[in-house]
Structure 1
Amino acid sequence: MMALFWQGVLLAILVAAISVNADMTLDCRPDSVMLVWTESRTLVDPSLFRLSDCFPTSFSGRQVVFNVGFNDCSFRTLVTGNRLIYSNDLMYISSSDSHILPFTHPVVCSYERPKDWYPVIYDPVFGTYGQGALVFHIGLMNDDFSGPAESTSFPLGSLIPIMASVEQNSHQPLLLLVDECVAAATPELTPESDLYPIITNKGCLVDSKTSRSKFEPRQRSSEIHLSLQAFRFSIGKEVYLHCQLVAWDPVGLDNTKKACNYIRNHGWELLDDPAYSNLCDCCDSTCKSRRMRRTTSGKSGVEQKAVLGPFTVTENS
């Protein structure tokens, strides 16, 4: 496997002459990367460099070194076609009174994907679905949404972190929403399936009316984070979430494309702009549907069915 990985290195990106001020070199290895940043400006403090949330491995004079694994420092993983790409951001976090302004620079290692290689996060806790030029993902995450879940078992009443996302590639910016989402005991829905509704009525998180479930504040328009309170449905048995993901033009939310939380003693609130929470008023009645139009035809958006699971909800000990 290691030999395949070494042979599969398509690109060990060497970025030089970032500007007249610095050089960056990358040594992209099978499971890690060594980054060396050489700075020419005398006022730059090398201790203020970060690779996402990681501090430098070492620094001396005007040179900063990061020697880290791809499982560290919140590296992003993208599998697309026959490419496996790890990406991150090198940041300089100068103080407000510094003459050196803060800046970021992309860090990318790209490989040819071995035929027998599949990232752990996609099986079974993550699902990937293609729709034209877009790729949708949905998966179970750890508590702070920084990586995949370490377990697919959740105690009753605990919060289940779920993230859905859409890879936009060269597409115009898109806003990811979840139109509908129900829990079932089977990976396929049938007329006889017992269902537990979670999100209905074009983006209304109905489960938040009776639980601690909520959409979390957005980090990116192309992602949506859901903290779902573990419910008493098929307890101790496998559970699957059947969801309808929607990627829209981010301009012009309406009552058919939205994400709404129910706030106790307050009412429905729009995730992306609480000032327009009136778009959620229909959550207690019927939010009129509108025919979906596909991005591939140059119009408003695209939708994708997705299944997350299995996972289990267990009785508290």
Structure 2
Amino acid sequence: MPFYKATCCTAQDFYLNVSADSRFTDHRPDRPWPEVQEPADPPAEEEPRFPPNFELKPPVTPDSVIAVCGESSVRVEVKRDLLGIGKSVQAAEVTLGGCGATREDQEVLVFESELHSCGSQLLISEDSFVYSFTLFYTPSPLGDSPIIRTLDFSVTIQCHYQRKHDVSSGLLKPTWTPFSGTKVSEENLHFSLRLMTDDGKFPRPSAQFLLGDKMKFEASVKQFHHIPLRVTVDSCVATVVPNVDTVPRYAFLGNNGCLFDSQLTGSSSHFLPRSQDDTLQFEMEAFRFQQDNSGLIYITCSLRATAATAAVDATNKACSFSNGGGEDDCWLDNLKWRS
């Protein structure tokens, strides 16, 4: 059997053989091994993406409180969904100046109060009385938790009552149909001007007078449950038709309560002492216009109410000229005060 000598390849030979084969495999072991790279910094976080044209919804004021001002009281109705968010408030969470609801159901809380109750405040301006109330909402914790999901707030409620109003005597005849001229102010203060009997105790059933007779008038304001009121007569005008801007006209009372007739004509016209603050009487002599033969006179007066505790001053007064002037002067010239 022939003997063959075996030889072994060296590492170099093997490497070369592999290298030769690499021509076909495109493997290039003679290239240097790549250096080890340090880990790259983590990528920056992307900015959060918001919906386009996103806007916070503004709060919507719910139409959930209604107030009705009466002659002597106020009524406030509060929807149970006071906040307009579909959640009912508890009756104990809502008060009117500290007063609880007088009636309630599943939909509405009702508060009723006299004008001077439930923490009301009175503001007196030149033209009106303003009674202000405050409706309070104070949320209570939810269930047994210590949290709330609404804020407490208050709502101001105001009732306005005019202090001034024009009332007309109706038709007067100095040979003159019964009248009682009463008008209701826009905000329910009731004023009246009427003729009275000679003793001043009763309404006069007739408006017919003889020239030279005394005409006695009574101005009044209904008290109801307001604070004590004092009525004053700011001005009076006599005309032959029910229109104060026509001629002839005779302005016999003006300047916020001055009865000029006695000064202008030498008559004895004057205010009478008050028996109570909410009424005021004055008397003057019957007259007619010189060039008018109808024998009809309309008298229109502007009445005003103020708090009975208000001081008597230049705008709150009832003053008469004494005997045409010259006696009992108390303010300005020839004025006689009747507070």
Q: TM-score, normalized by length of structure 1?
A: 0.45
Write 1 or 2 for the structure with the bigger share of strand.
1
Report the TM-score, using the length of structure 2 for normalisation.
Answer: 0.42
Highest CA radius of gyration, 1 or 2? Answer: 2
Q: RCO greater where, 1 or 2, for CA within 8 Å and sep 6 or more?
A: 1
